[in-house]
């Protein structure tokens, strides 16, 4: 098929999947894989091939860069003692366990080890697509693990291929490969991020900023590949650094444009990838003889089960080495958490890219056999991972009953109150510095106190809702519902004593700004004033017109936004709030700035 036909077909399939997934109550990636399998029954569509360089050079850099941008650096530092063994030792253990199973089913040792390297690492894009139901901290740990484990898998893959073609592998060469892959990948990511930082400091154009950010993952990947290091790790490192420095070297219009463009682009690439996985499974099935399919299906099931068992056992045996923060959870919660983490480790794009990269037939140094078997089993494991683990994940989350983590919500509320309070404290100084009239300053002060009251009321309402939920759960356990609880609601939610209505505006705001019925008359008066200033020869043109007041209002509001950003970044540097909380609040501040300034800067 022609490139345009393939593009249209993938786009239509993604559209159909997006329409069907909510109605079928299934995750979109699962629906897209099923649609890909269905399309594979058409012989012409089955011939659509997914070249490995397409995944490695187009899909992975973009998707991994976006996942890195939305990963918490504080979470990585906090759980590093968990992430490091899970992204290195677990990958090695999983690869050798799979290799052992492959040998039991008659695969040569080298072929079995290549298969193990392909299916060992959980995939960041699959985790991000299907793991949103997980508890926040577990999701971030699994995501960080998935972003960093690909380097280990690719080193194992290179060693296994060298063994398969008769290459000479020594402990020294293995160590050197690991060092170059990891240190080289980190160095390449740091170097590209540093160059991007120097460029972004001197440019203000939205288009130039976002073009630079788009090139970062590809340049990082290319530089790492040139020095035979891990391109995946280079992209991840560059993404984490860019995420940290972005608020200081980018503009509000560029950030809002990026926040809209990147998720949409990643959504399309991710959707196309899942459809192509389904097509690839159909292609490989039709390439293998009917007699061999039964044996390979058994291998696939055994490999998939082994990956789950090894992951669970590795977590169980490595518990004494984890760094503990906070109170120790009950034993039952810890056991259920390990089961949940085991099922959440799903395979995806990286595994398929490694399998498709296996050379076929004669290669430099020898002959490579078993490529079709490797691709079949890898695609089967990905399919089982998405269809079985992804389908069961919501039920397992409910079964696990992990206590709700209110940490992110509390940090968000703390940050909101901190930046609002700091802005109000600096209001007088900023008004003097920017030559703002008392009228405009007092108006902004009043709005600021209203927002603080609203924030406090919202916090009290949330806390009351948690208490009510606990009381309700206790009443259900005792079988004695509390009759007084019926029909009650927190005072704040009903617009209580703080004077905050459901829309977050003080109850007396209409009266304070004038009678509701006088709005048309007030508009006419202001219009007459503007007309008089524009045409009368007897009026002082320097008097305070609505235009002057608006200009002062905008200048002071922008100064307050800058102050809020300074305080917010200070909270991040001190570790008081998480990177993702900072990202959420920064997005809101950017929207407020664009509302004040307009969209003229989005060029």
The pLDDT tens digits for 518-546 are 444 333 334 333 333 344 444 444 445 67
Residues 413 and 389 in one domain: no
107 lies in the same domain as 153: yes
Residue 71 φ/ψ, nearest 5 degrees: -105, 145
Measured CA to CA, the distance from residue 18 to residue 29 in angstroms comes to 9
pLDDT tens track for 42-81:
888 877 776 766 777 778 888 889 988 888 888 888 888 8
Length of the chain, in residues: 603
Q: Is the pLDDT of residue 321 over 70?
A: no
**pTM assigned to the model:** 0.78
What mean pLDDT is predicted for residues 346-371? 71
Which band of pLDDT confidence, cut at 50, 70 and 90, is reported for residue 328?
low
Same domain, 205 and 302: yes
The pLDDT > 70 percentage for the chain reads 82
* Token representation of residue 351: 């595994």
From residue 488, how far is each of 268, 494, 501 by CA, in Å? 46, 10, 17
Q: Which helix (H) or strand (E) holds 24?
A: helix 3-24
Phi first, then psi: give them for residue 347, nearest 5 degrees.
-95, 155
Instruction: Give, in order, the Cα–Cα distances in Å from 214 to each of 55, 61, 253, 555.
Output: 17, 10, 16, 32
Domain that holds residue 465: 407-509+543-597
More confident residue, 338 or 482: 338
DSSP state of 166: T
325 exposure class (CB count in 10 Å sphere: 0-12, 13-18, 19+) = exposed
> Do 192 and 227 sit in the same domain of this protein?
yes
For position 304, what pLDDT does the model report?
A: 95
DSSP one-letter string for 55-71:
IIIIIHHHHHHHHHHTS
Q: Are residues 393 and 415 in the same domain?
A: no
**Tell me: the pLDDT tens digits for 101-129?**
999 998 888 889 999 999 999 887 777 77
Burial of 32 (0-12, 13-18, 19+ CB in 10 A): buried
Same domain, 162 and 195: yes
Number of Cβ within a 10 Å radius of residue 598 = 9
pLDDT digits (tens, 9 = 90+) for 248-274: 999 999 999 998 899 999 889 888 888
What is the average pLDDT across 349-373?
A: 70
Q: What is the pLDDT of residue 201?
A: 92
- Helix 171-200 to helix 231-249 angle (10° resolution) is 20
Region of residue 539 (left: phi > 0; alpha: psi -120 to 50; beta: else): beta
Is 527 a member of any domain? no
| pLDDT tens, residue by residue, 579-593 | 889 999 999 999 999
Residue 19's pLDDT band (cuts 50, 70, 90): very high
Is residue 40 a part of any domain in this protein? no
Structure-block tokens of residue 95: 């690869």
**Same domain assignment for residues 373 and 451:** no
Whether residue 284 is contained in a domain is answered as no
**Scanning the structure block, which residue is given the tokens 């695969």?**
107
Question: Both 412 and 491 in a single domain?
Answer: yes
Please report which helix (H) or strand (E) contains residue 21, including its range.
Answer: helix 3-24
165, HSE (Cβ side, Cα atoms, 13 Å): 18
Q: How many CA atoms lie within 13 A of 296 on its CB side?
A: 23
Q: Quick one: tokens of 182?
A: 């990891």
Buried b (16+ CB within 10 A) or exposed e, 251-278: bbbbbbbbeeebeeebbebbbbbbbbbb
Q: E strands of 36-159, at which residues? A: none
Alpha helices in 345-384 (DSSP H): 349-356, 371-384
Cα separation of 527 and 534, whole Å?
A: 11
Q: Which helix (H) or strand (E) holds 363?
A: strand 361-363
From CA 31, how far away is CA 271, in angstroms rounded? Answer: 10
Q: How confident is the model at residue 235 (pLDDT cuts 50, 70, 90)?
A: very high
Q: Is residue 514 part of a domain?
A: no
Residue 150 and residue 234 in contact, taking contact as beta carbons nearer than 8 Å: no
Quote the number of domains for the chain: 2
Q: How far is CA 570 from CA 91, 419, 579, in A?
A: 37, 10, 12
Same domain assignment for residues 101 and 160: yes
What CATH number should be reported for the domain holding residue 381?
Answer: 1.20.1530.20
Q: Is residue 307 located within the same domain as residue 450?
A: no
What SS3 string covers 399-429?
Answer: HHCCCCCCHHHHHHHHHHHHHHHHHHHCHHH
Average pLDDT over residues 298-320: 90
Structure tokens at 503: 């829309």
Give residue 230's pLDDT.
Answer: 87
412 and 380 in a common domain: no
Average pLDDT, the chain: 80
CA 489 to chain centre: 35
* Residue 243 included in any domain: yes
Burial class (CB in 10 A: 0-12, 13-18, 19+), 242: buried
Q: Are residues 55 and 176 in the same domain?
A: yes
Q: Give dist(CA 318, CA 452) in Å, integer.
A: 46
What local confidence, expressed as pLDDT, does residue 198 receive? 95
pLDDT of residue 326: 55
CB 185 within 8 A of CB 233: yes
Identify which of 409, 370, 420, 391 has the alpha carbon closest to the alpha carbon of residue 581. 409
- Helix axis angle, 579-597 relative to 231-249, nearest 10°? 50
The packing angle between helices 252-287 and 60-69, to 10°, is 140
> Which of the listed residues 400, 434, 464 is the one where a domain comes to its end?
400
- Does pLDDT of 332 surpass 80? no
Q: Say if 150 falls within a structural domain.
A: yes
pLDDT tens for each residue of 556-571: 889 999 999 999 999 9
Q: Kindly tell me the burial class for residue 490, based on how many C-beta atoms sit within 10 Å of its own C-beta (0-12, 13-18, 19 or more).
A: middle
Lowest pLDDT segment from 94-108, 254-268, 312-326, 453-467: 312-326
Q: How far apart are alpha carbons 589 and 603 in whole angstroms?
A: 20
Residue 533, in any domain of the structure: no
The rounded distance, in Å, linking the Cα atoms of 388 and 379 is 14
| Contacts for 384 with CB less than 8 Å, ≥ 6 apart | 300, 301, 304
For residue 32, being part of any structural domain is answered with no
């Amino acid at each position: 098929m022609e490139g345009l036909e393939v593009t249209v077909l993938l786009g239509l399939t993604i559209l159909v999947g997006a329409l069907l997934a909510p109605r079928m109550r299934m995750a979109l990636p699962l629906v897209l894989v099923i649609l890909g399998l269905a399309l594979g029954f058409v012989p012409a569509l089955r011939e659509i091939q997914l070249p490995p360089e397409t995944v490695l050079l187009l899909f992975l850099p973009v998707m991994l860069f976006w996942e890195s941008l939305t990963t918490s650096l504080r979470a990585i530092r906090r759980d590093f003692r968990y992430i490091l063994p899970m992204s290195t030792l677990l990958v090695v253990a999983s690869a050798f366990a799979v290799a052992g199973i492959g040998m039991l089913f008659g695969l040569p040792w080298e072929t079995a080890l290549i298969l193990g390297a392909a299916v060992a690492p959980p995939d960041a894009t699959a985790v991000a697509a299907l793991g949103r139901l997980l508890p926040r901290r577990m999701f971030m740990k699994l995501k960080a693990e998935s972003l960093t484990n690909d380097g280990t898998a690719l080193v194992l893959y290179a060693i296994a291929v060298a063994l398969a073609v008769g290459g000479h592998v020594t402990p020294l060469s293995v160590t050197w490969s690991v060092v170059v892959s990891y240190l080289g990948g980190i160095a390449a990511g740091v170097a590209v991020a540093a160059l991007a930082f120097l460029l972004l400091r001197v440019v203000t154009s939205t288009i130039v900023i976002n073009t630079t950010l788009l090139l970062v993952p590809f340049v990082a990947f290319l530089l790492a590949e040139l020095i035979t290091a891990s391109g995946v790790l280079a992209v991840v490192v560059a993404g984490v650094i860019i995420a940290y420095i972005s608020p200081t070297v980018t503009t509000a219009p560029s950030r809002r444009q990026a926040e809209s463009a990147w998720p949409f682009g990643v959504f399309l690439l991710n959707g196309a990838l899942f459809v192509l996985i389904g097509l690839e499974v159909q292609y490989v099935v039709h390439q293998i003889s009917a007699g061999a399919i039964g044996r390979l299906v058994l291998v696939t099931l055994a490999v998939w089960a082994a990956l789950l068992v090894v992951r669970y056992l590795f977590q169980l045996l490595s518990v004494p080495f984890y760094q503990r923060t906070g109170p120790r959870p009950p034993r039952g919660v810890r056991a259920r958490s390990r089961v949940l983490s085991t099922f959440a480790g799903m395979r995806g794009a990286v595994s398929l890219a490694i399998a498709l990269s296996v050379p076929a037939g004669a290669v430099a140094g020898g002959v490579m056999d078993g490529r079709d078997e490797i691709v079949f089993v890898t695609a089967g494991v990905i399919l089982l991972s998405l269809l079985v683990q992804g389908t069961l994940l919501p039920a397992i989350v409910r079964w696990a009953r992990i206590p709700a983590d209110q940490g992110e919500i509390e940090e968000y509320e703390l940050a909101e109150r901190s930046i609002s309070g700091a802005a109000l404290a600096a209001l007088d100084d900023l008004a003097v510095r920017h030559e703002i009239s008392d009228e405009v300053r007092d108006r902004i002060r009043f709005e600021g106190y209203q927002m603080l009251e609203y924030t406090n009321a919202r916090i009290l309402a949330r806390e009351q809702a948690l208490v009510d939920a606990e009381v309700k759960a206790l009443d259900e356990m005792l079988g004695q519902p509390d009759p007084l609880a019926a029909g009650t609601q927190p005072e704040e939610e009903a617009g209580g004593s703080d004077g905050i209505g459901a829309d977050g505006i003080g109850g007396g705001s209409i009266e304070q700004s004038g009678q509701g019925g006088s709005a048309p008359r007030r508009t006419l008066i202001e219009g007459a004033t503007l007309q008089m200033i524009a045409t009368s020869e007897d009026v002082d043109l320097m008097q305070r017109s609505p235009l002057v007041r608006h200009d002062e209002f905008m200048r002071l509001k922008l100064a307050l936004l800058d102050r809020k950003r300074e305080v917010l970044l200070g909270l991040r540097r001190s570790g008081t709030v998480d990177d993702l909380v900072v990202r959420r609040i920064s997005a809101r501040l950017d929207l407020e700035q664009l509302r004040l300034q307009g969209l003229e800067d989005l060029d």
